[in-house]
Amino acid sequence: MLPRRPFEGRSASDEQENAFSNGIVDAFPGTGNVDQRPDLVILSGPCGVLRGTPGLPRASCGRVKNTLTLFLSEQQVLSFLANFAMSKRAAACVLASALWTLLARGGFAQSNSFDDAMTLFRQKQWAAAAAAFENVEKSEPAKTAALLFAGKSLVNLEHFAEAANALSAYLASHPESDEAAYLLAYTKFRENKPVDSLNLFTAAAKIKPPHADDLKIVALDYALLEDQANAAKYLEQALRMQPGNIEVLYYLGRVRYQQNQFDLAIKAFEDVLNRDPTHAKAQNNLGLSLEAMNRTEEAMTAYRKAVALDKSSNHHSEQPYLNLATLLIRLDKATESVPLLRQAVLIAPDSGQVHYQLGKALFNLDRLEEARSELQESLRLQPAESSTHYLLGRLYRRLGDAEAATREFALTEDLLDAKRRKLAPTGQEPAKPQ
């Protein structure tokens, strides 16, 4: 899965809170138990002015700033305002406090809602945070960063289409937000829309130059478009910006492998493993690159290390088991491959390729009924795979079922012809079944 950028950021309400630090209201709903009493007006002012005013409750002055702070009901405020004995300065204090309370109910209630949503966000309660930020946006449209953080929460939930909607709406009112712009481009990459993603990255770069991780996603967009040259170009650029970025190095190795530049791929994967010896994917891909150069023993060692790393991991992949087993079958060591492929089936039961290789190993061991079961399961998952039809035809011929064998061989030819027609403009030939 694609690494996540760290999505946590500073609360957009911080500056709002700072505005209250030197105001006439030193306390506001949200401190102590007062947030449970939204009907109270918090009155604070010079002790000499307020103490002794007719009708106001008696209270002692605080030690800080020689101020007096009172918590009054709305009815008390109205009563005091009607009291003509109140001095003008006292009345001004009461009016100002009432005004701040009204602002607190209309403005600070929203700020507190944003803060509550941020608390959920920091606790990684993504679904609850997304809903909370959406509610904040409904209350204060375009006035906070709620949609930005809703988008981040939805990205963490891997709800990329919904995240894109939230981020697009945020950018409509905050077009200067580079964070939203780059994150929106990332969501399109995760939606497998590389052209849209690249266009959005171009727009984001006009706001702020990209980081290495941004260029990594740009490169992967090009890889999705099978433009390996541009993918390599942007990964190299990202490495110049951040030479120690392991993920960039890993993907550069993958691109070099796709370009058949196996020596460069080996170097990239070895660089990853020098920095992180537990990187199972790099170890597995190192094996693929070594095998591609016919360095068989080294490839087998790399695969075995990848299998060992996978066994100690909390997140398993069938790939190292499959690749090691496939090499063993090629080396006529089918017996050793079967336990590896059984484990691969447990990890990835819906992989047609795993069932195919297991069927092939069992076929080589003349365990034909078991092989047929695996090959049929492979075809259920990948019905257009010509290699599986061809091997199943060989199996039926060995079983003496000529009619079934002929049918499978005919299907094999039909599928190969379809591939030839598809590849005709490029001049390539489809791989022949083995």
pLDDT digits (tens, 9 = 90+) for 24-49: 222 222 223 333 333 444 444 445 54
Does 41 fall in a domain? yes
Model pTM score: 0.69
| β-bridge partners, 29 | 31
The type of residue at 203 is A
- Tell whether 83 and 149 lie within a shared domain: no
- Tokens 């607190």, located at residue: 104
Domain boundary among 209, 235, 254: 209
36: Cβ–Cβ under 8 A, 6 or more apart, which residues?
Answer: none
What's the confidence (pLDDT) of residue 147? 97
Q: 150 and 102, same structural domain? A: no
Q: What's the confidence (pLDDT) of residue 422?
A: 84
Q: Is residue 151 part of a domain?
A: yes
* Total tally of structural domains belonging to the chain: 3
Task: Please tell me whether residues 351 and 434 are part of one structural domain.
Answer: yes
User: Where a domain ends, among 143, 174, 209?
Assistant: 209
Structural domain span for residue 161: 123-209
Long-range contacts formed by 330-336: CB under 8 A, 24+ apart:
331/296, 332/364, 334/360, 334/361, 334/362, 334/364, 334/365, 335/365
Query: Looking at the domain assignment, is residue 24 inside a domain?
Result: yes
Check pLDDT > 90 for residue 5: no
- 417 alpha carbon, distance to own chain's centre: 40
pLDDT at residue 423, as a whole number: 77
Q: Model confidence over 360-400: pLDDT tens digits?
A: 999 999 999 999 999 999 999 999 999 999 999 999 999 99
Higher pLDDT, 84 or 431: 431
User: pLDDT per residue over 93-136, tens digit each?
Assistant: 555 555 544 444 444 334 459 999 999 999 999 999 999 999 99
pLDDT for residue 64: 36
Both 137 and 107 in a single domain? no
**What average pLDDT does the segment 262-289 reach?**
98
The three-state secondary structure class of 287 is helix
Let me know whether 104 and 129 are in one domain. no
CATH number at residue 429: 1.25.40.10
Q: What is the pLDDT of residues 312-360, one digit of tens each?
A: 999 999 999 999 999 999 999 999 999 999 999 999 999 999 999 999 9
Strand 67-73 to 40-46 pairing: antiparallel
Tokens 């365990």 belong to 367
Give me the pLDDT at residue 145, please. 95
What's the chain's length in residues? Answer: 434
pLDDT of residue 115: 93
The region of weakest confidence among 7-11, 86-90, 233-237, 384-388 is 7-11
24-38, 147-161, 234-248: which range is least confident on average? 24-38
Is the same domain home to 105 and 147? no
Is 278 within the bounds of a domain? Answer: no
Query: How confident is the model over 397-422, as pLDDT tens digits?
Result: 999 999 999 999 999 999 999 988 88
Residue 10 reports pLDDT greater than 90: no
Is 418 part of a structural domain of the chain? yes
User: 33 with 105, same domain?
Assistant: yes
Structure tokens that stand for 145 in this block: 């960063």
**Pair (166, 203) in one structural domain:** yes
**Diameter over CA atoms, the chain:** 114
pLDDT at residue 85 is higher than 50: no
Residue 97 lies in a domain: yes
Only one residue has tokens 């030839």, namely: 420
Q: Using DSSP, state whether 216 is helix, strand or coil.
A: helix
107 and 175 in a common domain:
no
**Is the same domain home to 105 and 156?**
no
Element at 73 (helix H, strand E): strand 67-73
CB contact set of 88 (below 8 Å; sequence gap of 6+)? none
Residue 301, phi then psi, degrees to nearest 5: -65, -45
CB-based contact 132:113 (threshold 8 Å): yes
Q: Choose the final residue of a domain: 111, 142, 160.
A: 111
Task: Answer for the pair 56, 80: CB distance below 8 angstroms, yes or no.
Answer: yes
Whether residue 318 lies inside any domain: the answer is no
Residue 423 lies in a domain: yes
Which residues are paired to 45 by β-bridges? 68
Residues 80 and 143 in one domain: no
pLDDT of residue 104: 42
Mean pLDDT of all residues belonging to the chain: 81
Do 106 and 33 fall within a single domain? yes
Half-sphere exposure of 44 (CA within 13 A, CB side): 17
Residue 287 pLDDT exceeds 60: yes
